[in-house]
Amino acid sequence: MSFDIDVTLRRGDALVATAFVAEEQAVALVGPSGVGKTSVLDMIAGLLRPDRGHVRVGGRVLTDRAARAEVPAHHRRAGYVFQDARLFPHLDVRRNLLYGAKDAARLATIAASLDIAHLLDRWPRALSGGEARRVAIGRALLSDPDFLLLDEPLSSLDVLRREEAMRLIERVRDDSGLPLLLVTHDEREAERLCARVVRM
Ligand SMILES: Nc1ncnc2c1ncn2[C@@H]1O[C@H](COP(=O)(O)OP(=O)(O)OP(=O)(O)O)[C@@H](O)[C@H]1O
């Protein structure tokens, strides 16, 4: 079992709710803008607390409102790649990658596999959107996570870059073997990258 999620949260006027149990390693969360996809990732990462329900990943209970159980975000071992990369602007790419790294010796391998080895001495402000996102994926992988959360990893890429990014995600998925939850607007991408598609 990868993800066992059943959460409800009121945010302003919106009611965010989803429930699914996935045996598959890779799960896509699809749905229209504003339905609450990012909020669900935040609840799984421990950045938002659901009003009711539970979050279990890889059999581990991270939130169980009925049992008053809540693992703090920094103990969840989530590799969360945010929609806007969120690199530290005052750290170069190398130090961004090593931030929170469990095993710095993996830097070279991961940088090579993400095609960012030539960017290690650059500053985040000198990266394209796609490069920044690859660095964010690298930083998440180096933190030795138990699972991966990717928020719209393909948005704002042109057709060619999108295809490259999809191949990269397939490789990360297959090489890491980690439970992976990916948010996208695009049903076709969801079906290609993930054995399970959850609609919100
Ligand atoms: N800080 C906030 N306070 C109140 N409501 C919020 C807040 N952040 C988001 N919302 C609302 O919660 C709902 C879910 O937002 P969320 O960002 O999770 O949706 P989403 O499906 O990820 O959207 P998108 O695809 O546009 O990124 C929306 O209706 C949004 O307006």
60 lines ligand 1 (CB under 6 A): no
- Here the ipTM equals 0.95
For ligand 1, is residue 184 a contact (CB within 6 Å)? no
pLDDT band at 150 (very low <50, low <70, confident <90, very high): very high
CA of 73 to the centre of ligand 1 (A): 20
For the segment 31-59, the average pLDDT, to the nearest whole number, is 96
Q: What is the DSSP letter of 177?
A: -
Task: Tell me the DSSP string of 50-119.
Answer: -SEEEEEETTEEEEETTTTEE--GGGS-EEEE-TT----TTS-HHHHHHTT-S-GGGHHHHHHHTT-GGG
14 lines ligand 1 (CB under 6 A): yes
User: Average of pLDDT values for 43-52?
Assistant: 98
Per residue in 108-145, pLDDT tens? 999 998 889 999 999 999 999 889 999 999 999 999 99
Query: Residue 137: which of 195, 196, 82 has the closest Cα?
Result: 82
pLDDT surpasses 90 at 41: yes
